[in-house]
Amino acid sequence: MEESLGNGNSASGGNGGTLYAGELEIRPAEGLALATGQALTLSVREFELLVAMARRLGTIVTREELYRVVWKGELRTGDRSVDVYVSKLRTKLEAAMPDRRFIHTHPGFGYRFQPQPSRNFHMPAAAD
């Protein structure tokens, strides 16, 4: 069963259902992520991180929570694993869909997963 999250996004209420974030489709049960219909090449950790963040679409998720869900343990002081994998995942998502930004950093709080137009994507100037 899928539930609407507004802005054309939806997420599954169950653990294995398909998740959507804009033109990104995530199939947890299949280990598959599609960007505009094309499969993304992600490591197991990158995929698990993507699923964990997509399940909390639009919500700031702490580094500690992401570590618990993806690495199945407690984040140790000084461990930058979450940040490294978020960076790798962000790079791959932006390469696949340069007009969208999916992962937003909230310093001191965590990360928010939500598709938004990229600031780096140049839109044509409006005619006066």
- pTM here is 0.81
The reply to whether 125 falls in a domain is no
In a domain, 30, yes or no: yes
pLDDT at residue 119, as a whole number: 74
* Within-domain flag for 122: no
Handedness of CA 106, 111, 113, 119 (dihedral sign): positive
- Look up the domain containing 94 and give its range: 2-117
Q: Specify if 107 maps to a domain.
A: yes
Residue 103 placed within a domain: yes
In this structure, is residue 29 part of a structural domain?
yes
CATH number at residue 98: 1.10.10.10
Residue 126 belongs to a domain: no
- Alpha carbons 86 and 70: distance in angstroms, whole number: 12
- Total structural domains within the chain: 1
Q: In a structure prediction context, what are the per-residue pLDDT tens digits for the chain, which is 128 residues long?
A: 333 333 344 444 445 699 999 999 999 999 999 999 999 999 999 999 999 999 999 999 999 999 999 999 999 999 999 999 999 999 999 999 999 999 999 999 999 999 999 876 555 555 54
Residue 2 has a CB neighbour count (10 Å cut-off) of 13
73: in domain: yes
